[in-house]
Protein backbone atom coordinates (compact mmCIF):
# COMPACT_ATOMS: atom_id res chain seq x y z
CA UNK A 1 0.00 0.00 0.00
CA UNK A 2 1.21 3.50 -0.87
CA UNK A 3 -0.25 6.05 1.53
CA UNK A 4 -0.23 9.80 2.02
CA UNK A 5 -1.14 11.56 5.27
CA UNK A 6 -3.23 14.71 5.18
CA UNK A 7 -2.71 16.66 8.41
CA UNK A 8 0.59 16.33 10.23
CA UNK A 9 -0.51 17.15 13.76
CA UNK A 10 -0.41 14.72 16.70
CA UNK A 11 -2.52 12.04 15.00
CA UNK A 12 -0.82 12.36 11.61
CA UNK A 13 2.62 12.00 13.20
CA UNK A 14 1.51 8.82 14.98
CA UNK A 15 0.09 7.38 11.77
CA UNK A 16 3.36 8.07 9.95
CA UNK A 17 5.29 6.11 12.58
CA UNK A 18 3.22 2.97 12.09
CA UNK A 19 2.90 3.23 8.31
CA UNK A 20 6.64 2.66 7.91
CA UNK A 21 7.60 1.99 4.29
CA UNK A 22 3.96 2.38 3.22
CA UNK A 23 4.18 6.13 3.94
CA UNK A 24 4.99 8.15 0.82
CA UNK A 25 4.10 11.83 1.28
CA UNK A 26 2.67 14.30 3.79
CA UNK A 27 0.14 17.06 3.12
CA UNK A 28 -0.37 20.03 5.46
CA UNK A 29 -1.10 23.66 4.77
CA UNK A 30 0.64 24.90 7.93
CA UNK A 31 3.22 22.36 9.09
CA UNK A 32 6.34 21.21 7.25
CA UNK A 33 5.21 18.73 4.62
CA UNK A 34 5.78 17.51 1.07
CA UNK A 35 2.63 19.20 -0.24
CA UNK A 36 0.25 21.93 0.92
CA UNK A 37 -2.87 20.58 -0.78
CA UNK A 38 -3.96 17.01 -1.49
CA UNK A 39 -4.86 18.00 -5.07
CA UNK A 40 -1.20 18.84 -5.68
CA UNK A 41 -0.14 15.22 -5.08
CA UNK A 42 0.01 13.25 -8.36
CA UNK A 43 -2.67 10.57 -8.06
CA UNK A 44 -0.33 7.86 -9.34
CA UNK A 45 1.88 8.35 -6.25
CA UNK A 46 -0.57 6.75 -3.80
CA UNK A 47 -3.59 4.49 -3.39
CA UNK A 48 -4.67 5.34 0.17
CA UNK A 49 -5.24 8.48 2.23
CA UNK A 50 -4.96 8.94 5.99
CA UNK A 51 -7.09 11.99 6.85
CA UNK A 52 -5.93 13.43 10.19
CA UNK A 53 -7.68 16.78 9.94
CA UNK A 54 -10.29 18.82 11.86
CA UNK A 55 -13.90 17.64 11.62
CA UNK A 56 -15.00 20.39 9.22
CA UNK A 57 -12.32 19.37 6.68
CA UNK A 58 -13.02 15.64 6.58
CA UNK A 59 -15.97 15.33 4.20
CA UNK A 60 -14.31 17.38 1.46
CA UNK A 61 -11.12 15.30 1.61
CA UNK A 62 -13.08 12.03 1.67
CA UNK A 63 -15.16 13.00 -1.39
CA UNK A 64 -12.07 14.00 -3.34
CA UNK A 65 -10.25 10.78 -2.39
CA UNK A 66 -13.19 8.57 -3.31
CA UNK A 67 -13.70 10.25 -6.66
CA UNK A 68 -10.10 9.44 -7.63
CA UNK A 69 -10.53 5.87 -6.32
CA UNK A 70 -8.41 6.09 -3.18
CA UNK A 71 -9.01 4.14 0.03
CA UNK A 72 -9.27 6.33 3.11
CA UNK A 73 -8.72 6.09 6.85
CA UNK A 74 -10.26 9.08 8.61
CA UNK A 75 -9.74 9.94 12.25
CA UNK A 76 -12.85 9.72 14.38
CA UNK A 77 -15.54 10.95 14.50
CA UNK A 78 -17.17 11.05 11.09
CA UNK A 79 -19.91 13.61 11.63
CA UNK A 80 -22.26 15.69 9.51
CA UNK A 81 -25.67 14.97 8.04
CA UNK A 82 -26.60 11.29 7.88
CA UNK A 83 -27.47 11.79 4.21
CA UNK A 84 -23.87 12.94 3.59
CA UNK A 85 -22.42 9.88 5.32
CA UNK A 86 -24.71 7.52 3.40
CA UNK A 87 -23.68 9.24 0.16
CA UNK A 88 -20.01 8.59 1.01
CA UNK A 89 -20.79 4.92 1.64
CA UNK A 90 -22.53 4.62 -1.74
CA UNK A 91 -19.68 6.40 -3.52
CA UNK A 92 -17.04 4.16 -1.89
CA UNK A 93 -18.91 1.05 -3.00
CA UNK A 94 -19.36 2.44 -6.51
CA UNK A 95 -15.65 3.22 -6.80
CA UNK A 96 -14.74 -0.10 -5.10
CA UNK A 97 -12.57 1.49 -2.44
CA UNK A 98 -12.70 1.32 1.35
CA UNK A 99 -13.47 3.94 4.03
CA UNK A 100 -12.57 3.26 7.65
CA UNK A 101 -13.20 5.62 10.57
CA UNK A 102 -10.42 5.12 13.11
CA UNK A 103 -11.47 4.30 16.67
CA UNK A 104 -8.29 2.78 18.05
CA UNK A 105 -9.77 1.69 21.40
CA UNK A 106 -11.48 -1.20 19.59
CA UNK A 107 -8.01 -2.76 19.65
CA UNK A 108 -7.39 -2.27 23.39
CA UNK A 109 -6.62 -5.79 24.75
CA UNK A 110 -8.76 -5.39 27.88
CA UNK A 111 -11.79 -4.31 25.82
CA UNK A 112 -11.33 -7.21 23.40
CA UNK A 113 -11.33 -9.60 26.38
CA UNK A 114 -14.35 -7.85 27.90
CA UNK A 115 -16.27 -8.35 24.64
CA UNK A 116 -15.45 -12.07 24.76
CA UNK A 117 -16.67 -12.34 28.37
CA UNK A 118 -19.93 -10.57 27.50
CA UNK A 119 -20.48 -12.78 24.42
CA UNK A 120 -19.95 -15.97 26.47
CA UNK A 121 -22.42 -14.67 29.11
CA UNK A 122 -19.86 -15.33 31.86
CA UNK A 123 -21.31 -12.53 33.98
CA UNK A 124 -24.91 -13.35 32.97
CA UNK A 125 -27.52 -10.84 31.93
CA UNK A 126 -26.10 -7.35 31.92
CA UNK A 127 -27.78 -4.90 34.29
CA UNK A 128 -25.74 -1.71 34.01
CA UNK A 129 -22.62 -0.14 32.52
CA UNK A 130 -20.53 2.81 33.70
CA UNK A 131 -17.77 4.43 31.65
CA UNK A 132 -15.37 7.21 32.56
CA UNK A 133 -12.77 8.75 30.22
CA UNK A 134 -10.75 11.67 31.51
CA UNK A 135 -7.58 13.61 30.94
CA UNK A 136 -6.21 17.02 31.83
CA UNK A 137 -6.00 18.58 28.39
CA UNK A 138 -8.37 21.55 28.82
CA UNK A 139 -5.59 24.12 28.35
CA UNK A 140 -4.30 22.34 25.22
CA UNK A 141 -7.83 22.35 23.82
CA UNK A 142 -8.13 26.07 24.57
CA UNK A 143 -4.92 26.80 22.63
CA UNK A 144 -6.07 24.80 19.61
CA UNK A 145 -7.40 26.74 16.62
CA UNK A 146 -10.18 24.23 15.99
CA UNK A 147 -10.81 21.97 19.02
CA UNK A 148 -12.51 24.38 21.45
CA UNK A 149 -15.70 24.63 19.42
CA UNK A 150 -19.26 23.36 19.19
CA UNK A 151 -19.87 20.20 21.28
CA UNK A 152 -16.27 19.95 22.47
CA UNK A 153 -15.58 16.90 24.60
CA UNK A 154 -18.96 15.36 23.75
CA UNK A 155 -17.87 14.92 20.13
CA UNK A 156 -14.25 14.12 20.99
CA UNK A 157 -14.20 11.65 23.90
CA UNK A 158 -17.95 11.01 23.78
CA UNK A 159 -17.65 9.49 20.30
CA UNK A 160 -15.02 7.08 21.66
CA UNK A 161 -17.33 5.98 24.48
CA UNK A 162 -20.27 5.51 22.12
CA UNK A 163 -18.07 3.43 19.81
CA UNK A 164 -16.93 1.28 22.76
CA UNK A 165 -20.59 0.54 23.55
CA UNK A 166 -21.25 -0.43 19.94
CA UNK A 167 -18.11 -2.58 19.94
CA UNK A 168 -19.05 -4.41 23.14
CA UNK A 169 -22.77 -4.89 22.54
CA UNK A 170 -23.26 -4.55 18.74
CA UNK A 171 -26.72 -3.04 19.07
CA UNK A 172 -28.30 0.37 18.32
CA UNK A 173 -28.06 3.18 20.85
CA UNK A 174 -31.41 4.28 22.30
CA UNK A 175 -32.75 7.08 24.50
CA UNK A 176 -29.50 9.03 24.70
CA UNK A 177 -29.68 12.04 27.02
CA UNK A 178 -27.29 14.76 28.07
CA UNK A 179 -27.52 14.80 31.87
CA UNK A 180 -24.94 17.52 32.50
CA UNK A 181 -22.57 19.68 30.48
CA UNK A 182 -19.94 21.98 31.97
CA UNK A 183 -17.53 24.58 30.63
CA UNK A 184 -15.05 24.78 33.46
CA UNK A 185 -12.05 26.05 31.48
CA UNK A 186 -13.17 26.03 27.84
CA UNK A 187 -15.67 27.79 25.61
CA UNK A 188 -17.08 24.41 24.57
CA UNK A 189 -18.01 21.61 27.00
CA UNK A 190 -14.97 20.18 28.80
CA UNK A 191 -16.95 17.88 31.11
CA UNK A 192 -20.18 15.98 30.44
CA UNK A 193 -22.45 13.22 31.70
CA UNK A 194 -24.52 11.12 29.29
CA UNK A 195 -27.14 8.43 29.83
CA UNK A 196 -28.40 5.94 27.22
CA UNK A 197 -29.71 2.44 26.65
CA UNK A 198 -28.22 -0.26 24.46
CA UNK A 199 -29.94 -3.67 24.35
CA UNK A 200 -32.11 -2.20 27.16
CA UNK A 201 -28.97 -1.97 29.31
CA UNK A 202 -28.60 1.27 31.24
CA UNK A 203 -25.32 3.00 30.37
CA UNK A 204 -23.89 6.03 32.20
CA UNK A 205 -20.94 7.90 30.70
CA UNK A 206 -18.71 10.61 32.09
CA UNK A 207 -15.99 12.42 30.17
CA UNK A 208 -13.63 15.16 31.28
CA UNK A 209 -10.75 17.37 30.13
CA UNK A 210 -10.35 18.40 33.78
CA UNK A 211 -9.22 15.07 35.19
CA UNK A 212 -5.62 15.80 36.11
CA UNK A 213 -4.53 12.18 35.92
CA UNK A 214 -5.37 10.34 32.67
CA UNK A 215 -8.08 7.86 33.62
CA UNK A 216 -10.32 5.24 32.03
CA UNK A 217 -12.77 3.06 33.93
CA UNK A 218 -15.36 0.56 32.79
CA UNK A 219 -17.74 -1.21 35.17
CA UNK A 220 -20.25 -3.78 33.89
CA UNK A 221 -22.58 -5.49 36.37
CA UNK A 222 -24.47 -8.65 35.45
CA UNK A 223 -26.64 -11.30 37.09
CA UNK A 224 -23.73 -13.72 37.59
CA UNK A 225 -20.95 -11.27 38.34
CA UNK A 226 -19.19 -8.20 37.04
CA UNK A 227 -16.17 -7.01 35.08
CA UNK A 228 -14.06 -3.93 35.60
CA UNK A 229 -11.32 -2.23 33.56
CA UNK A 230 -8.90 0.22 35.09
CA UNK A 231 -6.80 2.36 32.70
CA UNK A 232 -5.72 2.07 29.07
CA UNK A 233 -2.40 0.57 28.02
CA UNK A 234 -1.21 3.87 26.56
CA UNK A 235 -0.98 5.38 30.05
CA UNK A 236 -0.06 2.55 32.38
CA UNK A 237 -0.58 -1.12 33.13
CA UNK A 238 -4.23 -1.91 32.38
CA UNK A 239 -6.17 -4.17 34.71
CA UNK A 240 -9.22 -6.31 33.91
CA UNK A 241 -11.05 -7.72 36.93
CA UNK A 242 -13.69 -10.46 36.58
CA UNK A 243 -15.82 -11.11 39.65
CA UNK A 244 -18.06 -14.14 40.15
CA UNK A 245 -21.14 -13.43 42.22
CA UNK A 246 -21.60 -15.30 45.48
CA UNK A 247 -25.18 -16.21 46.36
CA UNK A 248 -27.16 -15.11 48.24
CA UNK A 249 -24.50 -12.49 49.07
CA UNK A 250 -20.87 -12.20 50.09
CA UNK A 251 -17.42 -11.46 48.75
CA UNK A 252 -17.14 -12.59 45.09
CA UNK A 253 -14.35 -14.71 43.68
CA UNK A 254 -12.05 -12.51 41.66
CA UNK A 255 -9.76 -13.03 38.69
CA UNK A 256 -7.34 -10.29 37.62
CA UNK A 257 -5.74 -10.02 34.18
CA UNK A 258 -2.97 -7.44 33.78
CA UNK A 259 -1.94 -5.92 30.46
CA UNK A 260 1.47 -4.27 30.34
CA UNK A 261 1.97 -0.59 29.60
CA UNK A 262 2.55 0.15 25.93
CA UNK A 263 -0.12 1.13 23.42
CA UNK A 264 -0.66 -1.70 20.87
CA UNK A 265 -3.78 -0.16 19.32
CA UNK A 266 -2.23 2.06 16.65
CA UNK A 267 -0.21 -0.76 15.12
CA UNK A 268 -3.14 -3.19 15.26
CA UNK A 269 -5.56 -0.67 13.76
CA UNK A 270 -3.16 0.15 10.95
CA UNK A 271 -2.77 -3.56 10.17
CA UNK A 272 -6.57 -3.94 10.22
CA UNK A 273 -7.03 -1.12 7.69
CA UNK A 274 -4.32 -2.43 5.37
CA UNK A 275 -5.85 -5.94 5.44
CA UNK A 276 -9.28 -4.50 4.64
CA UNK A 277 -7.84 -2.63 1.67
CA UNK A 278 -5.97 -5.69 0.40
CA UNK A 279 -9.04 -7.92 0.72
CA UNK A 280 -11.16 -5.34 -1.16
CA UNK A 281 -13.68 -5.14 1.69
CA UNK A 282 -16.98 -3.39 1.11
CA UNK A 283 -17.44 -0.11 3.02
CA UNK A 284 -20.04 0.02 5.79
CA UNK A 285 -20.59 3.26 7.69
CA UNK A 286 -23.50 1.92 9.76
CA UNK A 287 -21.75 2.52 13.10
CA UNK A 288 -20.73 6.02 12.04
CA UNK A 289 -24.36 6.82 11.30
CA UNK A 290 -25.41 5.46 14.71
CA UNK A 291 -22.78 7.59 16.46
CA UNK A 292 -23.58 10.64 14.35
CA UNK A 293 -27.31 10.27 15.06
CA UNK A 294 -26.62 10.06 18.80
CA UNK A 295 -24.30 13.09 18.83
CA UNK A 296 -26.78 15.16 16.83
CA UNK A 297 -29.42 14.58 19.53
CA UNK A 298 -27.21 16.31 22.09
CA UNK A 299 -26.66 20.08 22.54
HEC per residue, the chain: CCEEEECCCHHHHHHHHHHHHHEEEEECCCCCCCECCHHHCCHHHCCEEEECCCHHHHHHHHHHHHHCCCEEEEECCCCCCHHHHHHHHHHHHHHCCCEEEECHHHHCHHHHHHHHHHHCCCCCCEEEEEEEEECCCHHHHHHCCCCCCCCCHHHHHHHHHHHHHHHHHCCCEEEEEEEEEECCCCCCCCEEEEEEEECCEEEEEEEECCCCCCEEEEEEEECCEEEEEECCCCCCCEEEEEEECCCCCCCCEEEEEEECCCCCHHHHHHHHHHHHHHCCCCCCCHHHHHHHHHHHCCC
**C-alpha to C-alpha distance for 270 and 275, rounded to whole angstroms:** 9
The answer to whether 235 and 214 are in contact (CB under 8 A) is yes
Residues 116 and 78 in one domain: no
- Residue 59: name the closest of 37, 30, 88 by CA: 88
Same-domain status, 271 and 259? no
Please check whether residue 295 lies inside any domain of the structure.
Answer: no
Q: Are 75 and 156 in contact (CB under 8 A)?
A: no
Is 166 in the same domain as 243? yes
43 and 188 share one domain: no
Instruction: Check whether residue 142 and residue 212 sit in a common domain.
Output: yes
For 53, the domain range is: 3-102+266-282
Q: Taken in order 210, 114, 226, 222, is the CA torsion positive or negative?
A: positive
pLDDT band, residue 257 (cuts 50/70/90): very high
Q: Are residues 159 and 237 in the same domain?
A: yes
Q: Per-residue pLDDT for 84 more than 90? A: yes
Give the angle 186-191-193 at the CA atoms, nearest 5°. Answer: 150
Closest CA to 111 of 232, 5, 13: 232
> In this predicted structure, what is the pLDDT of residue 103?
97
146 pLDDT band, cuts 50/70/90, is: confident
C-alpha 211/C-alpha 175 separation (Å) is 27
pLDDT of 241 reads: 98
- Closest by CA to 147, choosing from 180, 116, 187, is 187
232 beta partners: none
Indicate whether 162 pLDDT > 90: yes
Neighbour-count burial of 26, counting CB atoms closer than 10 A to its CB (0-12 exposed, 13-18 middle, 19+ buried): buried
- 32 part of a folded domain: yes
pLDDT score of 31: 87
Q: Are residues 249 and 127 in the same domain?
A: yes
Considering the domain boundaries, does residue 72 fall inside one? Answer: yes
Domain presence at residue 135: yes
Q: Mark whether 249 and 277 lie in a shared domain.
A: no
The count of other CB atoms within 10 Å of the CB of residue 186 is 22
Same-domain status, 259 and 274: no
CATH of the domain at 88: 3.40.50.720
Domain assignment present for 293: no
Query: pLDDT band for position 144 (50/70/90)?
Result: confident
30 pLDDT band, cuts 50/70/90, is confident
Q: What is the mean pLDDT of residues 140-160?
A: 92
Q: Quick check: is 292 in a domain?
A: no
Q: Is residue 129 part of a domain?
A: yes
> pLDDT band for position 61 (50/70/90)?
very high
180 part of a folded domain: yes
Query: Are 140 and 244 in a shared domain?
Result: yes
CATH number for the domain harbouring residue 240: 3.30.360.10
**Do both 136 and 223 map to the same domain?**
yes
The yes-or-no verdict on residue 299 having pLDDT over 80 is no
Q: Does residue 149 sit in the same domain as residue 230?
A: yes
- The number of distinct structural domains making up the chain is 2
Residues 6+ apart with CB under 8 A from 105: 111, 160, 163, 164, 167, 232, 265
What average pLDDT does the chain have? 95
Amino acid sequence: MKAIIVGMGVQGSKRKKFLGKNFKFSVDVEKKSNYKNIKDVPISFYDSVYACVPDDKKLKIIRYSLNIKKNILVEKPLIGKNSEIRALERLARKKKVFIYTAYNHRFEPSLIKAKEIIFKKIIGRIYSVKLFYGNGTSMLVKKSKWRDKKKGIITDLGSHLLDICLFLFNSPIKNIKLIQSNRFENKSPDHALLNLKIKNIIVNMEMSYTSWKNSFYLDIVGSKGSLHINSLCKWSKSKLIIRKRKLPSGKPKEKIINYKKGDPTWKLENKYFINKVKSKSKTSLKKDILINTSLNKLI
